[in-house]
Chains A and B, each alone.
Chain A
Amino acid sequence: MKMIKTVLAATVALGLSQAVYATELEVTHWWTSGGEAAAVTELAKAFDASGDKWKDGAIAGSGGTARPIIISRIMGGDPMGATQLNHGKQAEELIAAGLLLDLTEVAEKEKWREVIKPVSLLDSCTVNGKVYCAPLNIHSWQWLWLSHKAFADAKVEVPKNWDELVAAAPKLEAAGKVPLAVGQQPWQSAGVFNVMAIAIAGMDSWKAVFVDKKAEVATGAEFAKVFAAADQARKMSAKTNVQDWNQATNLVITGGAGGQIMGDWAQGEFQLANQTAGKDYTCLPGLGVNEVISTGGDAFYFPVVKDKEKTEAQKRLAALMVSQQVQVAFNLKKGSLPVRSDIDLNTANDCMKKGLKILADGKILPDVNQTLTPDTVTQIEDLIVEFWNDQKISPADAQARFAKIISAEK
């Protein structure tokens, strides 16, 4: 009798503990393109395998569409289990309002401060000594993707840097190609501009403007060159009739466009189309001029929830995201760089290896989202997208307006 009782009790306890452990977390993110979705599946698989349940809350559209939804859900008292956000200034006020979960305990247990490289990623998650987000990957914007097919069709050599691409533009156009594919969404032209700013103005001038907010550098000769180059770029991209970034990448994959300036997430699309770096396409970090990459990236934040079990599950998910096996599986699919250097990425392709090397050399810059407030970022976006589409705005005018926005940032 006693035996049966024990067995029963054990079964009940087992059943209970399982029920407690298998907590469902809704995870919101905006990874919906082919390559991105494949990477998210890796995360979901790992989380489900650990005994919890991943409830996918993908929000279609870019971060610009998804962020407002995410933020209003957190603020409106309907928090999800975990959510993607770019780390940096976007979440600062949510943290100040006490809406996000403090992950310091997880970070200490998993020794994040020792394993996460570059440590600046963790710093962006840290406010007043407390960790509020789990960095998942490093994304850099500074890549120029070139289609070998387009250049073969136009009978020109595949360029090795930005200037060669500009020189090849007339021939590409004559062959009916768009020299530079830039989708219509505002963040894309703004991103291209930032990449050109780093590559053409150089690291020091870029830092002076985007980190130290020195308006006199923004009006100076170095940035005049940047706007002149942006002027060329907008002419080269004028015939792109697509909206989304992956449609623009697709133009490069199919040889309809010569190149695209886009972050390393474009890598996933090339992979999905079974293209090989070096054979079907070439990637040039820093436009082949200045080989630096900015280390922005995706991070996951965990809103404060009342349910204790959910809080525990949130912490488990945070630890899982930074763990070695998830870092490898996720980043290989996503085409982004891992946040830790103690893992083996032998299977990474040429482009990722280039990125890893630059990272190891320490030629890194913070991402715009880490140095400027969202308000300033959108103002620059508005300006650039206007400049990009309206040939009547001269580079000098645009530069003056740009300097004004920079000097207004406090």
Chain B
Amino acid sequence: MAATQQPRPAWLKNMSAKLASIPMVFTALVIFVGCTLWTVYYSFTNSKLLPNSNFVGLDQYTRLWETNRWLVSVENLVIYGVCSLILSLVLGFLLAALLDQKIRFENTFRSIFLYPFALSFIVTGLVWQWILNPEYGVQHLVRQLGWTSFTFDPLYNADIVIYGILIAGIWQGSGLIMCIMLAGLRGIDSEIWKAARVDGIPTWKTYLWVVIPMMKPVFITALVLIASGIVKVYDLVVAQTSGGPGIASEVPAKYVYDKMFQAQNLGQGFAASTMMLLSVVVILIPWAYLQFGGKRRG
């Protein structure tokens, strides 16, 4: 059978869809890629308040990695990141699994758990600043109940201040993860549960070895959401401690902001933000490889 029509070249397929996506592609290229390149370019200059093109090589980076405050910031981000990643996932999944037991008032509980997510980080930070304040908050309350030697003042103790911030972060964020997980759990076919029960597999084992592996895409979605929240953590710290006591709760995003706008040293701020970008890329590339490479194999 002879072809009555020449097949159209591949790039002409779905013309209207491609046309429609041009503005977005353009935005992505100019805003994201363009501004990123601009930032990286000027991180090699000694720009102060306004960008200039006096190249100083790697000076900004050398200074950055010699600055104690930056090192503390990076360390804090690692602690906050690892803890918040694990705790959010575990807590979110546990809450979702508990809600999934066909309990009463599920809607009410779901709202309660998700509610903190409706608050901004600034409000969350301020609320927890009060709760953790030794003179008014938890410590005061427990002392009034009779335990007069009880001490709980994470925000005023340099060694544990980052955990005080972590508590607030988890409180705010785990509700969302719970919702995503719950949606994932509801997506599991009830036949699978029935089959597991017929085979006599205990519930917890079913969760661990059957349900969780089936929820891989849900976990990846949650992971991306949590990870992007970690890298940009800024307002929570500003509201709770403004980096204190001393520099004990500084984070990289705050370093970037302070250097760019307060110290009027754009070059240094750009160098720091380039390092932040680098850390995201280091995490993003293996993830993208797993995600998209996996599909091709399938």
Contacts and interface: CB of A to CB of B under 8 A. Distances in A.
Are A and B co-members of a single complex? yes
Interface of A: 64, 67-68, 71-72, 75, 90, 92-94, 97, 184-186, 241, 243, 373-375, 377-379, 382, 385-390
A75 B264 CA distance: 13
A13 to B, nearest CB: 45
B264 A90 contact: yes
Contacts of A378: 258-259, 262-263, 265
Given A94-B49, A241-B134, A390 B246 contact: yes
A25 B156 CA distance: 42
Contacts of B158: 389-390
11 contacts: A71-B261, A93-B50, A185-B242, A241-B135, A375-B48, A375-B265, A375-B268, A377-B263, A378-B259, A385-B244, A389-B247
B110 interface: no
Contacts of B134: 241
Interface of A is mostly: helix
A379 B263 contact: yes
Contacts of B50: 75, 93, 97
Contacts of B265: 374-375, 378
Nearest 10 CB-CB pairings of A with B: A389-B246, A68-B261, A378-B263, A93-B49, A375-B265, A374-B264, A389-B245, A375-B263, A184-B244, A386-B247
Contact of A374 (B68, B241, B257, B262): B262
Interface residues of B, number: 29
Interface of B: 48-50, 67-69, 133-135, 156, 158, 241-248, 257-265, 268
B262 A388 contact: no
A35 B258 CA distance: 28
Contacts of B246: 385-390
Nearest to B68: A386
Contacts of B241: 184
B76 to A, nearest CB: 14
Given A184-B245, A374-B264, A389-B244, 18 more contacts: A67-B262, A71-B49, A90-B264, A93-B49, A184-B242, A184-B244, A186-B242, A186-B243, A186-B244, A241-B133, A241-B156, A243-B242, A375-B48, A375-B265, A378-B258, A382-B67, A382-B247, A389-B247
A18 to B, nearest CB: 40
A68 B262 contact: yes
A254 to B, nearest CB: 14
Contacts of A93: 48-50, 264
A374 B263 contact: yes
Contacts of B247: 382, 385-386, 389
Nearest to A404: B66
Contacts of A382: 67-69, 247
Contacts of A64: 262
A84 to B, nearest CB: 16
A375 B264 contact: yes
A75 B231 CA distance: 27
Contacts of A75: 50
Contacts of B262: 64, 67-68, 374, 378
A75 B133 CA distance: 39
